[in-house]
Structure 1
Amino acid sequence: MSPRFSRRALGTSIAALPLPVMAQAWPTRPLRWVVPYAPGGGSDFLARTIAAAISGPLGQTVLVENRPGGATVIATEAVARAAPDGYTVLSADMTALIINPAGFRRLPYDPIKDLKPVCTTATFNFVLAVSPTLAPRSVAELVAMARAQPGRLNFASPGIGSPSHLATERFGRNLNLTLTHVPYRGGAPAVQDLVAGVADAMFIDYASGAPHFEAGRLRPLAATAPTRMSLLPDLQTLAEAGFPGNDIYSWQGVMAPAGTPDAIVARLGAAIRAAVNDPAVADRLRAIGLTPLPGDSASFAALIQSETAIWGTLIRELGLVLDS
């Protein structure tokens, strides 16, 4: 019997039980929360903060397991193949749910068929920043330079297909700019060259940019989310700077294996939303540049659909192949 068939068969047997009984009995043992990134980063901090907050209300420990590698594919496939019993969940972001499905020719999971949205948790804020050696001190001046010198501006990113890269492409297309994308092998070397003036600009996540903003090693020009960031309250958004329609932010939520009973998904989602809405938890998230995003299963599904229309379409138009 194949693993996929076994999982589906188990899902069928679980679904056959009365859902109220399932929800009341669950959980009876610790939960496993799989994070597709290494310990110490923003995704790990987010999962561990929420896991600690929901362990008490659920009456069971929520164990965070880091499974980095394969551009989130390793962790995502593992959860997609897990038993749909509510004891294994995934920190899922736009890389796992939108970028990979659009850019991989061969992907060992289907985000719609193999996974089930539980809830959203937070957004990761991005900032359009430039090297302090660059003359522009506003988005308007940067755009004017790009128009006057097509291809002159080098935009760094952590790699091809990263949210930073896609933000660069979308920004350039929306404003009819010719920008030169320079992909790096990860965020650290990209930021290092931006600070050194080797690269000119970057859509950088707040956590990576914050120390350099404070020290004056990078110049932030605009926040890229629809609203201003609490940690940079004086920084305009792109829309406020006169360039609407360029909202760019990354987000994260929780997914369970397809077939997980709705009653369990609802109970787990409610516990996570309560944690994210808790002022102490929300303050911890905001302190590292995250914005709490408490949403239910339906709103998460709608977010995936709307973001796929934007980023999935862009990836296909660019002809990006991420598993070459």
Structure 2
Amino acid sequence: MSTIVERVKKGMVASALSLVSGLVGAQAYPTQPIRFIVPYVPGGASDVAARLVTKDIKATTSLTAVIDNKPGAGAQIGTRFVAEAAPDGYTLGFFDNSFVINPALVGDKLPYDSTHGFKPVVELVKMPFILEVNKDVKANTLEEFVKLLKDNPGQFNYGSAGNGSPVHFAMEQFKHATKVDITHIAYKGGGPSLVGLVGGETQATMATVASSLQYMKNGRLKPLAVTGSKRLPELPEVPTFAELGYPEVDFSYSMGLFAPKDTPDSVIEWLSAAFNKELNREQTKAQLATAGFQVVGGLPQDYQAFIAAEIPRWKRFVNEVGVKIE
């Protein structure tokens, strides 16, 4: 009996020491710069958003941010890097909708487990997409563009940030709703995709205000329609897809913060509080709004529930539409 009692006491002491150690670690965190992985090249919406939400975060927290772009394979390279990182809170990921799309598109070949391999921390920003065409495309309205595509099936291309990227699926929504045939060209990021569109390599894309407003202002790209329930204040003359009879084209860009699966809950809670505080700073909100982003924020469990619902949603879409990797 005494042996059992001694074992129980030892177990209780070990548990207490572990708890104290965890609390001390949480109080000390962070003690070094945090590496934030963006799975795209610089210049796209994810890169812009990541830099804006971390630019001044040290002013209100002890967090020093280092942005590390790791593009490739439709965001899988950077995402896998985070999945395999030490769960100590010093390697995190800024992931967009590709995180919930890739399980549907790639299936068992995905080199990480989207459902169990990460801890979602907080949804940071979202924004609608804009259907944009090259200035030389002979269409100035959505109706004209749809007619042009139907009259020339398979003769036009659209660019995206890669297979499984938000732009890829936003355009597939558009294709499905309008029943047009336009070919997907996958680039290694939103920046190169936009460059390809401006240069005439492709004729269309879905883009965000953050990444493409300059090209629309100088006339090199023409906006035709926006996703979402209302027009954008930056482009009040551009109608929504819903206004034009296509309410099912509703894909919006979303980006959030993720950590490796075994990251301590205390670290997750610290990060959530730190980023929510930063998102509520007037200067940060103004900078994000200027770039076209809408602040989200919220608790880790809110974002976890959102991600859990989005993964099966896009699996259903892939099965229904038959989206393929180009």
Whether TM exceeds 0.5 here: the answer is yes
The residue type equivalent to 1:129 in the other structure is E
For residue 101 of structure 1, the aligned residue among 94, 100, 103 is 103
Secondary structure of the residue aligned to 1:58 is coil
- Does the 8 Å contact 1:27/1:58 carry over to 2? no
CA distance in 1, matches of 2:265, 2:168: 36
Cα deviation for residue 190 of structure 1 reads 5.0
Q: Where do 1:261-280 residues align within 5 Å?
A: 261-280=264-283
> In structure 2, do the counterparts of structure 1 residues 77 and 217 end up closer, same or farther at CA, with 3 Å as the change threshold?
closer
Instruction: Report what 2:183 is aligned to.
Output: 181
One-letter code aligned to 1:248 = F
Q: 1:23 to 1:139 in 2, by over 3 A?
A: farther
- The structure-2 alpha-carbon separation of the partners of 1:94 and 1:189, relative to structure 1 and needing over 3 Å to count, comes to closer
**Code of the aligned partner of 1:126:** F
How many residues of Structure 1 are paired with residues of Structure 2 in the alignment? 307
Secondary structure of the residue aligned to 1:65 is: strand
Change (3 A) 1:321 1:237: closer
Q: Which one of 262, 268, 285 corresponds to residue 288 of structure 2?
A: 285
Provide the C-alpha distance between the structure 1 equivalents of 2:102 and 2:81, rounded to a whole number of angstroms.
15
Contact 1:14 1:85 in 2 (8 A): no
The alignment partner of 1:84 has SS state of: coil
Q: In the alignment, is residue 118 of structure 1 matched against residue 121 of structure 2?
A: yes
Alpha-carbon offset, residue 197 of structure 1: 6.0
Show the 5 A alignment for 1:1-324: 17=19, 21=23, 25-35=27-37, 36-95=39-98, 97-104=99-106, 105-146=108-149, 149=151, 151=153, 154-158=156-160, 159-175=162-178, 177-186=179-188, 187=190, 190-191=193-194, 194-195=197-198, 199-316=202-319, 317-318=321-322, 320-321=324-325
- 2:197–2:204 contact (8 Å) kept in structure 1: yes
Which residue of 1 is the match for residue 3 of structure 2? none
138-147 or 239-248, larger mean C-alpha shift: 138-147
Q: Distance in 2 between matches of 1:14 and 1:160?
A: 48
Aligned CA distance change for structure 1 residues 299 and 138 (closer, same or farther; 3 Å): farther
Q: Deviations over 1:93-123 (max 9, x none)?
A: 222x223322334222112211001001112
The CA deviation at 1:126 is 1.9
List per-residue Cα deviations over 1:15-51 (Å, max 9, x = no partner): 9526983575141512423222344544334333333
Partners of 1:189 and 1:80 in 2: CA distance: 26
Amino acid at match of 1:228: R
Q: Determine the C-alpha separation between the residues in 1 that align with 2:148 and 2:67.
A: 46
For the Cα contact (< 8 Å) 1:30–1:63, is it kept in 2? no
Asked if structure 1 preserves the Cα contact closer than 8 Å seen for 2:44 and 2:191, the reply is no
1:22–1:226 distance in 2 versus 1, CA, 3 Å: farther
Letter in 2 for 1:27: Y
Give distance in 2, aligned partners of 1:154 and 1:54: 43
Q: Is the 8 A contact 1:14 1:261 kept in 2?
A: no
RMSD of the alignment, in Å?
3.2
| Structure 1 unaligned residues grouped into runs of 5+ | 1-12
The Cα offsets for residues 255-311 of structure 1, whole Å up to 9 and x where unpaired, read as: 111122333312211210121121211222233332222232122223323432343
Aligned amino acid, residue 101 of structure 2: I
Question: Which region of structure 1 is more displaced relative to structure 2, 126-135 or 16-25?
Answer: 16-25
Corresponding residue for residue 8 of structure 1 = none
Give the AA of the match of 2:322.
Answer: L
- Over 3 Å counting, the alpha-carbon distance change for 1:125 and 1:116 in structure 2 is same
Change (3 A) 1:267 1:51: same
Are residues 71 and 168 of structure 1, via their aligned partners in 2, closer, same or farther at CA, if it must alter by over 3 Å?
Answer: closer
The structure with the larger Rg is 2
In structure 2, distance between residues paired with 1:288 and 1:74: 27
Distance 1:112 1:28 in 2: 26
The 1-side partners of 2:60 and 2:197 are apart by 45
* Preserved contact between residue 163 and residue 250 of structure 1 (Cα < 8 Å): yes
